[in-house]
Amino acid sequence: MSDVMATLVKNNEELVKQLAQANRQVDQLHQEITYLNELIAEMNRKLFGKSKEVIPDQDGQLSLFNNGNEPATPAQDEPVIEVKNYRRKAKGTKADKLAKFPVEQIEKELLISERDCQHCGVEMTDMGSIPIRSELAFIPAKITRLIYNQHSYVCKHCEQQGITSIKK
């Protein structure tokens, strides 16, 4: 039994030494962390903190923050530089010029065979037309403005079922 006690006492002493060593290491690491945090705070103060900027005074330059009653020195008469005027291009005249010519509408409709719905095969109904392009046709001694309209078709049968089917 004395051997067991001696072994336990020896193990206990070793564990106490290891604990003391671990505590010293923890204290050392805490000191290092504290030092590094202070160093970071100091660097942040230097980088982002207040700083005094000194700008030398210039003759004739007024200070924004000086509330003195000193009158400003009048500027010397500077020569006036004249810039040549030039005629600018008129904007938006194309539509005005095209509006004076007679208009001829050209309708582009789908063939009857192409008006069938892809989903159900029922003939589609004309929804209306939109102008897709406008051009001038020059015939000697006559100018005509041609406007091409494109018709759009919708299937009423599919529309009632909630399916959108439009052809242009």
Q: Does 102 or 31 have the greater pLDDT score?
A: 31
CB atoms within 10 A of CB 129: 16
| CA atoms of 155 and 146, how far apart (whole Å) | 30
Q: Report if residue 76 sits inside a domain.
A: no
| CA atoms of 168 and 164, how far apart (whole Å) | 13
Cβ–Cβ < 8 Å for 122, 155: yes
- Does the pLDDT of residue 165 top 60, yes or no? yes
Residue that is last in its domain, among 10, 29, 49: 49
Q: Report if residue 15 sits inside a domain.
A: yes
Q: What is the mean pLDDT of residues 43-66?
A: 71
| CA atoms of 96 and 59, how far apart (whole Å) | 58
Number of domains in the chain: 2
State the pLDDT confidence band at 18, using cuts at 50, 70 and 90: very high
Give the per-residue pLDDT at 136.
Answer: 80
| CA atoms of 159 and 124, how far apart (whole Å) | 10
Q: Report if residue 120 sits inside a domain.
A: yes
CB atoms within 10 A of CB 32: 10
- Does the pLDDT of residue 139 top 70, yes or no? yes
Rounded to the nearest integer, the mean pLDDT of the chain is 83
- Does the pLDDT of residue 41 top 90, yes or no? yes
Q: Which residues, other chains included, contact 122 with Cβ-Cβ below 8 Å and sequence gap of 6+?
A: 116, 155, 156, 157, 158
Integer CA distances (angstroms), 28 to 17, 20, 25, 127, in order: 17, 12, 5, 84
Q: What is the mean pLDDT of residues 139-163?
A: 84
Give the per-residue pLDDT at 40.
Answer: 94
The string of pLDDT tens digits covering residues 67-119 is 555 555 656 677 777 878 888 777 777 777 777 888 888 888 888 888 888 88
Q: Report if residue 84 sits inside a domain.
A: no
User: Residue 119 belongs to what domain range?
Assistant: 98-167
Q: What is the signed CA dihedral for 94, 99, 100, 102, rounded to 10 degrees?
A: 130
